[in-house]
A = this chain, B = another copy of it.
Amino acid sequence: MAVLTEKTFPMYHENMDDSKLLWTEKSRRKVLETPIFDVNEIERESTDGRAGTFVEIATPRWINVIPVFTGTDGQRYFVMERQFRHGSQSVTLEFPAGLVEEGEDPREAARRELLEETGIKAGKLTQTGFLNPNSAFMATGGYFYVAEDLEYTGERHFDPNEQIETVTISEAEVFKKLGKGDADNGIMLVSAFLYLRFRGEI
């Protein structure tokens, strides 16, 4: 037993050799189709001769947008949504999000979803990242944006099973709340991390 130092494990660098770690796909089959994702089963082999069956969840790509504006008090505010989430079985506080449609540009999807769900038109839309929400078994990911120069059209249009309350909340309050209570959706923390980098705060 020894105190761990920077000499215990190899130091990471940008050009590490991945070749030994790669698993090769031998076959795949779809085992379930649902309205929001497919489940696929894949046979893969490792470079050291192991073989295994792995499952993946393939969803359409999606977008997540943080609409931000400066209030009359000089503070920054976010527009967020309250809705029942069928995974967590709870009402959550989230940034607007939605699926990218077949053939749609993700940036257009972000504008469309923001407009449909909140009635907001964004003068400026900046992509902050593209991420896989869980590389262990999710096969695709989502695009993250910040929307600025916001105008309100006064109209919202929901999908048949969408029931959304739109609220305003100060940036400071969101950063305190995220990860707790009704703000416990991990995707929102990903979005917030990318937002902090966008602001130059990390």
Query: Digit string of A157-176 for contact with B (CB within 8 Å is 1, else 0)?
Result: 00011010111110001010
A110 at the interface (CB under 8 A from B): no
Interface residues of A in 1-48 (CB under 8 A from B): 1-6, 8-12, 16, 18, 21-23, 25, 31-32, 34-37, 39, 41-42, 44, 46, 48
Distance between Cα atoms of A68 and B55 in the complex (Å): 32
Q: A10-B167, A35-B55 are in contact. Are A85 and B136 (CB under 8 A)?
A: yes
Chain B residue nearest in CB terms to A23: B84
In the complex, which range does the number of interface residues on chain A fall in? 35 or more
9 extra interchain contacts, Cβ-Cβ under 8 A, other than A12-B80, A50-B161, A132-B184?
A1-B152, A4-B150, A9-B79, A18-B91, A34-B55, A52-B161, A86-B137, A131-B186, A179-B190
Q: Which residues of A approach B to under 8 Å, CB–CB?
A: 1-6, 8-12, 16, 18, 21-23, 25, 31-32, 34-37, 39, 41-42, 44, 46, 48, 50, 52-57, 67, 69, 71-73, 77, 79-80, 82-94, 118, 120-121, 128-139, 141, 150-154, 160-161, 163, 165-169, 173, 175, 178-180, 184-187, 189-190, 192-194, 196-197, 201-202
